[in-house]
Structure 1
Amino acid sequence: MITPQYCQRMAQHNLWQNNEMSAAMSALSETQLWLDRSAFFGSIQGTANHLLWGDLTWLSRFDGGAGPQTVLENSTAEAADLADWQQKREALDQRFLAWANELTAADMDGDFSWYSGAMQRDFSLPKALCLMQMFNHQTHHRGQIHAMVTAAGGKGWTTDLPFMPPAFAKN
């Protein structure tokens, strides 16, 4: 279904996109970042925090490392402000790269089981499907943030995989 190389490319894309998103968010004021924009997670910063929370949740399931310190209902407060988010995001993106670079085809075989606090039940699904969901979740919420940033008068950014700069594909 997918390969370790797919996960490596998506981790590289994740780093590139989060850097672009961070730059676009930095051009906005804290007020603009926290303004409720009627999105599912409210604001630009709230959605970025939820994305950070979701990435921590999924990656901790796969790499056994630390997960978020809060539950889904508080995911919009994962970082206190943009600077805190940027620091946490950078560290997590490096963790994603390290994890992806160690993946083997065998790591992606079989089922993956976990307890979902959001759904209050156990799940068991193919690992490859769970990996695709993790990367899809990132893309989905970055798209929401892109729309909110541009609606706030900020600058959008290129998101397409074919246009990823070669420097990011080497990480």
Structure 2
Amino acid sequence: MMTATPSEHAYEQLVTHRYRDFAAYNEWANRRLYAAAAQLSEAQYRADRGAFFGSVHGTLNHILVGDKLWLRRITGSGDEPAGLDAILFETLPELAQARAAEDARIAAYVAGLDATTLASDATYANVAGTRFTQQLATILDHVFNHQTHHRGQVHCLVSALLGNAAAPSLDLIAFQRERGLSRQG
């Protein structure tokens, strides 16, 4: 049996930790964004403001829909929402609870991955039923990027409705600094 060289072990650690860090970042950013959304009035929260999914409510639901769809595609388990614009939960507290549960599910999933699994291919069908095969790591890149993309839309809506001071920093570097992944000086 061959053992990994120090450089191979370092690469394995880098790759697997990257996805664990992204899962932790997403949980952190989602928690901060939901706290900001909770400052909105019900009318502000539900108003169609021209985002891809209309309102803060619609966009937060969409992010959860996307995560549920992708985890179902790559794990074979979990809910499969009916459409990309599905409203899974009608109230922000219910949605926040479901978001926290999905963030924990994502973190648990990526915690069990190794570099070999990340480099393996996964086959899935999109919402139109077209089948695709691609490397699991690139699918996870999309999942994390998708959240970031739509969180940015919600952040913009909160900023427009309540002012910049009401919208927290969601910068990855702020998360990294908070977690001690960088140092000053």
Normalised to the residue count of structure 2, the TM-score between the two structures is 0.82
Match of 1:111 among 109, 113, 121: 121
Q: Which has the higher contact order (CA 8 A, sep 6+)?
A: 1
- Which residues in structure 2 correspond to 1:6-45 (within 5 Å)? 6-45=18-57
Matched, 1:90 2:100: yes
Find the counterpart in structure 2 of residue 65 from structure 1: 77
Tell me which residue corresponds to 2:151: 142
Task: Give unmatched runs, 5+ long, in structure 1.
Answer: none
Larger Rg: 2
Which residue in the other structure is 2:6 paired with?
Answer: none
Task: Tell me the percent identity.
Answer: 35
Aligned to 1:81: 91
SS of match in other structure, 1:114: strand
Cα-to-partner distance string for 1:30-63 (whole Å, 9 max, x where unaligned): 2111100011100011000000000111122233
1:157 is the counterpart of 2:168 = yes
State the 1:150 CA deviation: 0.5
Partner of 1:55: 67
TM-score, with normalisation over the residues of structure 1? 0.89
Count of aligned pairs? 164
Cα-to-partner distance string for 1:78-106 (whole Å, 9 max, x where unaligned): 21110110110011111111112111111
Moved over 6 A (4+): none
RMSD: 1.8
Question: Cα 1:68–1:30, aligned 2, differ >3 Å: closer, same or farther?
Answer: farther
Q: Secondary structure at the match of 1:3?
A: helix
| One-letter amino acid matched to 2:117 | D
